[in-house]
Amino acid sequence: MPPLAQVLERCATTPPNILATLQKVQATLGYVPHTAVPEIAHALGVTDSDVAGVLSFYHDLRTEPPGKHTIRFCLGESCLAAGAEKSLAAIEKKLGCELGETTKDKRFTLEKVYCLGNCALSPCAMIGEDVHGRVLPKTLADLLKEYKK
């Protein structure tokens, strides 16, 4: 049975929980392909537009495959006060992509978050499961180098 069908089989609930189903699909496939919307809707007994509406509303749901490494860049108050906007501009320039995008080589996806719980070392970013503090424009090249291997 294909992975999507397996997820949908486990998600059949009354009433249907569209968000939970989309989260499970993303956890399994890494993203929720637009082409899966009709199958998800059918499995839940809702319309395609119901599923598409939830999919487009929640920014944590992806409709494109993520890069090998996801960079979550903090834009919380502490990080902003410590210069996060300059660091973000530098990382966007270095990667050649903006927030919400994936690099052309599919190595990195850049996302925003509003707190990583590492405020004492602002500005912060999380690459995969690794939290990094003092993410400054001058330290970005060295930081990214270890993930380009």
What are the residue boundaries of the structural domains of the chain, listed by start?
3-57, 69-145
Give the chain's mean pLDDT: 93
Per DSSP bridges, beta strands 125-127 and 69-74 are antiparallel
**pLDDT, tens digit, for every residue of 101-111?**
999 999 999 99
The pTM of this model reads 0.79
- For domain 69-145, say whether CATH 1.10.10.10 is its number: no
The confidence score (pLDDT) of residue 8 equals: 82
Give the Cα separation of 140 and 46 in Å (integer).
45
Question: Residue 63 — very low, low, confident or very high, per pLDDT cuts 50/70/90?
Answer: very high
Q: Locate the DSSP E strands across 21-149.
A: 69-74, 108-113, 125-127, 130-132
**In the numeric block, which tokens belong to residue 63?**
């409709």
